[in-house]
Structure 1
Amino acid sequence: MEAASLKLGLIGNCAVSALIDDRARVVWACAPRFDGDPVFNALIDSPEGIGPDGTFQIMLEDFSHSEQEYRHGTAVLRTRLYDLHGNAIEIVDFMPRFFLYDRPFRPEMLVRRIRPLQGHPRIRVVLRPVIQWGSAQPSRTRGSNHLRFVGPDFTIRLTTNAPLTYVHDETPFALDMPMSFIFGPDETLDRAVEDAARTLEEKTVNYWRDWTRRLAIPLEWQEAVIRAAITLKLCLFEETGAIVAAMTTSIPEAPGTQRNWDYRYCWLRDAFFVVRALNSLSETGTMEDYLRWLRNVVAQSHDGHVQPLYGIGLESKLTEYMIPHLRGYRGMGPVRVGNQAFEHFQHDVYGNIVLGSAQAFFDHRLHQRAGADEFALLERAGERAFAIHDQPDASMWELRTRSRVHTSSVLMNWAACDRLAKIALQLKLPERATTWRERADLIKRKILDNAWSEQRQAFVESFGGKDLDASVLLMAEVGFIDPRDPRFVSTVDALEATLCDGPYMRRYEAPDDFGKPETSFNICAFWRIDALARIGRVDQAREIFEALLASRNHLGLLSEDTHPVTGELWGNFPQTYSMVGIINGAMRLSKAWDTKI
């Protein structure tokens, strides 16, 4: 039996999503939103391979091989399955998304369309949703052309023009005509199934193509950037504006390490990087949605403290617990729900709040530019950033048993004060600008005095420390230091010598709660690319960037980590941090359009 893998495609509509493997098996989907109970959970209950429970499969008899791709510029996935006898079928998967009555139409719905491509293929439909984290299956009832799956908290309907008896009994049958499966709300369709599915597909394709054609993409690596942009957009929970870090929980960062976490929540740090990457492509709609969510986060933090992450509905308590009956990805448990990091003090969060909001004060394209009221809210975050800028925290790496004054956290506190000074000038508030500039300068002096190690000839991970950490590469990215400053150049050299395995880069050298990291953290490798390009080592940066692109899966997606020896993807999937790196790298390194035309 083949092992589970991250050879997966993501489909979604900014309300719900699903992961589909290269044999067109739906192996992960949660309801009623990204952080809900999985309806399909085979991805994390598969020690030896993906079985039929917790999946939605269109199985081709005597399967031989498959091909899979996205329809260009869309979130519509197309899989072709071939058998040993020359027969073939095509499966098109998507979640409807388009505008209806001037509002986003994004139902909790999965549409699967299949058609014979050649020969006389025989298929078997296996639809086995689960409830209560896979501990039970919903009850089934049958209608004239639909099946209803009833759980304690929901009812889902499958409407199809396939023979319902064959679907219900999982009986193999000949596919001699196109068939569609609409899996979603318990509502009667107002037209024939095939007609409804075709219309939904056409409108969804048109939506995504209209969306992507408005992107300001670079000359080079266009397909990679478009795919990364669509993936980031799919991680937006549009109803509230929250952006999840990844769609999954408990995919190990490295094999057998128990570094298994739930990433289906909104980290302010990750969301800032997503917003900035999409802004660089002139896709400001996501920023506007996110700022709605962020304003609510800041407004509800009456004591000034802001958590590093929240639920996508602004939930502040994300108690972490394990699901003992699930075996985990490739049997590598535990499976966790919730994330203990909501209890952490991670002081970089205040800088991420201000950085994520700053463009809204300057961008004339926005429907609602930020003004004095929004500035007052940001100043609350800034006051907190300044008050705690030299206090120990858990760092951006969310260390659970160690607290220090981490350089990356102080750096982001500086960024909060620096950007507030610039915003104040934009708003013609010179006294506030002076206050924030003085505070930024004070923090900068502390970083330069306390984070530099003469012994390592590098900026190190904490004040007075000695260990190297890739997060200091952000010094150039946020404008703290001239990238050609000898201290920054020396830091890059030291990090390359200590943390890099070819094109890959680990987060830090010191052991953490689980020992020394084994896999490359993908965003760190992209930070390295940015630093090299800023220093002037563009050829080296381009070479590394091409190597990282080659490590993506067959559909152009990345997870959190890559194993430097096997090249296999590990960690939660798809990881927004990693997809951000693709966009940032391409925008930094691409030749200008006028070099070609």
Structure 2
Amino acid sequence: MGKHLYQTGLIGNCAFLAHVHKNTNIEWLCWPRFDSSFIFGGLLDKHKGGEFSIKPEGEFTSRQYYLENTNVLCTEIECESGSYRVTDFAPRFYQYERYFKPLMLVRKVEVLKGSPRICVTCKPVRCYGQEKFEALRGSSHVEYVGDDEKIRLTTNMPINYVFDQQHFTLNETKYLVLTYGKHLEAPLVSTMDSFLRETIQYWRTWIKRTSIAQFHQEVVIRSALVLKIHQFEDTGAIIAASTTSLPEFPGSGRNWDYRYCWMRDTYYILTALNHIGHFSEMENYFNYITDISFNEPNRYQPLYGVTGKKQLIEKEVELEGYLGNKPVRIGNQAYEHIQNDIYGQVLISVLPLYTDHRFIFSERKDSARVVEYLLHKIEATVDEKDAGIWEFRNFANIHCYTNLFQWAGCMAAAKMARTIGNEALEKRALALRDQAAAHIESCYDEKRKVYTHAAGSEHLDASTLQLIMMGYLDPASQRAKDHLAVLEAALKTPGGLFYRYLHADDFGKPKSTFLVCAFWYVEALACVGRIEEAKEEFARLLQYSNHLLLFSEDVDEENGSQWGNFPQAYSHVGLMNAAYRIAMKLDRPIFA
């Protein structure tokens, strides 16, 4: 197999996400929520996954691109009879004092040249491809009905051609509007033209209001746009990826459902968005976390559903799998895991709400209660073994990374306690910080001058790069420089990629690199003052995107193939935070 790159782009409006293939097919779309069954899932099964395509007669070539500084995606098709463009978008803009973000996928089809003959195929499915909708023909629409679900395709194309999947000549601009639940009542063309203008304007205004340095600005902008649409705005939850069961490596069995809110991932995402001056996502997430905290008497789970659902029971679905890779998993057993770093990450996530004077912390009710709740969780788990950042399923350790974030969380709690004037809470946080630090030091290998992944272990782990970025190790210290040197010698590949670790886990030894680790490495280089190397390594990593500057979770070091769920929020976060760190170190306008 040659180099594998994902051939889709992503659109969304903070209510849903959809993947559009270069051949125009909607390869992935879950409705009505990020974690619902797909209605189009060709990504995982070409037969049971349904289809929504606008393909030409005969052979064709295609190119795909985003309208600049937007999440509006264009796919241009050239065939023997002419060429046409499909513009796909999810409407999002401000109206009536709130954001309009309907469950509505809009496809604008325009002639570019000649008289292309096209065929529209729209076959949504239910229950992860196990059931089909009944298609009912209307005068200017097709309604798809299944139990209590209704989806409608409204169009100004000849409805019989669409219903019968018949080729016809495209000679003027047409619209296809797919809606879930509520149907389109307004005039089609004028309304959709307006929605497209408003959506383009919304995204370009959102980007104008960011503070992004000129170091590789284009790719940082794209990553920011990707991250934004991974927030389920209704509740504030932010998901790790919009897909499930895209394998970390072919035949590995490491196929996971990432359509949930990981507390850890959210910390990194919010950090990246804060760096570019966007804070509403953090305030929305605070509401989501508060709701979970006050309804969670025991410990936090590592992940929750987008509505705070706790039981995410993992099961396998009978589908072909991506390129034949089984199993296809729905749900994620990691919700049962013990992962104790998350309390610290939640504390750090909401810290700016108390230390940044652009926020009025007194507006947040129960501040002391939230901090005290999280500190109590750290207190109860600081000496406990856990599954760690990589969610090992069958063994537990005192993980360096876990205690690092307990340390950092206590530092954040102390700052928040000072802000709200609670001296007792501050004192308690600092005592716990020292307790966590003692565990971190138990992971230090004096002989090799490196921190191992866990107490009593000889294995190295890229997550310990965070000791430098989080300020636990002074970046100017020899200990930080030695630690970095040992990790890069052991885990870095010739192509600038980075393995999470190289020891065997529950599924054997990893065969692909984890992209965010390579961006952590870049960030660590910048921290210790190796700026030129950081810039060079950052630029090298950009080759691992697809045609739209979208990054996957994993990369094969041998040929640069993309694997894992896609696009992966973690990878885009790593890119943004590394670019930010380099730009801050340079502290001057940079032209990449």
When the two structures are superposed, what TM-score results if normalisation uses the length of structure 1? 0.95
* 1:387 partner letter: A
Instruction: Compute the RMSD of aligned alpha carbons.
Output: 1.8
Would you say 1:486 and 2:478 are equivalent positions?
yes
Partner of 2:306: 312
**Structure 2 counterpart SS, 1:114:** strand
**Structure 2 counterpart SS, 1:134:** coil
CA distance in 2, matches of 1:10, 1:574: 8
Would you say 1:274 and 2:269 are equivalent positions?
yes
The residue correspondences of 1:391-402 to structure 2 (distance < 5 A) are: 391-402=384-395
Partner of 1:67: 63
CA distance in 2, matches of 1:16, 1:593: 38
Partner of 1:474: 466
Q: Structure 1: any 5+ residue segments left out of the alignment?
A: none
Q: CA deviation at 1:430?
A: 2.8
CA 1:347–1:70: 2 relative to 1, 3 Å: same
CA distance in 2, matches of 1:317, 1:148: 33
CA distance in 2, matches of 1:3, 1:125: 31
Partner of 2:42: 42
**Structure 2 counterpart SS, 1:282:** coil
Of 370, 377, 382, 2:375 maps to 382
* 1:490 partner letter: D
Would you say 1:413 and 2:406 are equivalent positions?
yes
CA distance in 2, matches of 1:182, 1:571: 31
Partner of 1:541: 534
CA distance in 2, matches of 1:110, 1:211: 21
Identity of aligned residues (%): 38
Partner of 1:156: 151
Count matched residues.
588
Q: CA deviation at 1:479?
A: 2.0
Q: Deviations over 1:274-319 (max 9, x none)?
A: 011000000001111111101111111213x110000001100000
The residue correspondences of 1:413-452 to structure 2 (distance < 5 A) are: 413-448=406-441, 450-452=442-444
CA distance in 1, matches of 2:470, 2:224: 21
Does the 8 A contact of 1:4 with 1:43 survive in 2?
no
CA 1:124–1:371: 2 relative to 1, 3 Å: closer
Does the 8 A contact of 2:553 with 2:570 survive in 1?
yes
**Structure 1 counterpart SS, 2:142:** strand
Does the 8 A contact of 2:372 with 2:425 survive in 1?
no
Partner of 1:110: 105
Of 344, 354, 357, 2:347 maps to 354
Partner of 1:20: 20
Q: Which moved further from structure 2: 201-210 or 183-192?
A: 183-192
**Structure 1 counterpart SS, 2:546:** coil
CA 1:446–1:133: 2 relative to 1, 3 Å: closer
CA 1:297–1:68: 2 relative to 1, 3 Å: same
**Structure 1 counterpart SS, 2:125:** coil
**Structure 2 counterpart SS, 1:504:** coil
When the two structures are superposed, what TM-score results if normalisation uses the length of structure 2? 0.96
CA distance in 2, matches of 1:64, 1:159: 26
Of 550, 557, 560, 1:564 maps to 557
Q: CA deviation at 1:378?
A: 2.1
Q: Which moved further from structure 2: 584-593 or 532-541?
A: 584-593
Of 177, 184, 189, 2:179 maps to 184
Of 481, 487, 509, 2:502 maps to 509
CA 1:504–1:93: 2 relative to 1, 3 Å: same
Q: CA deviation at 1:340?
A: 0.3
* 1:64 partner letter: F
**Structure 2 counterpart SS, 1:329:** coil
Of 440, 445, 454, 1:453 maps to 445
CA distance in 2, matches of 1:586, 1:384: 33
Q: CA deviation at 1:199?
A: 1.1
**Structure 1 counterpart SS, 2:366:** helix
Q: Structure 2: any 5+ residue segments left out of the alignment?
A: none
**Structure 1 counterpart SS, 2:307:** coil
Q: CA deviation at 1:188?
A: 5.0
Q: CA deviation at 1:72?
A: 0.8
Q: Which moved further from structure 2: 455-464 or 246-255?
A: 455-464
* 1:320 partner letter: E
* 1:227 partner letter: R
CA 1:367–1:223: 2 relative to 1, 3 Å: farther
Of 149, 157, 167, 1:172 maps to 167
Of 226, 233, 241, 1:231 maps to 226
Does the 8 A contact of 1:476 with 1:482 survive in 2?
yes
Partner of 1:97: 92
Does the 8 A contact of 1:360 with 1:370 survive in 2?
no
CA 1:186–1:393: 2 relative to 1, 3 Å: closer
Q: CA deviation at 1:390?
A: 2.1
Would you say 1:55 and 2:47 are equivalent positions?
no
Partner of 2:121: 126
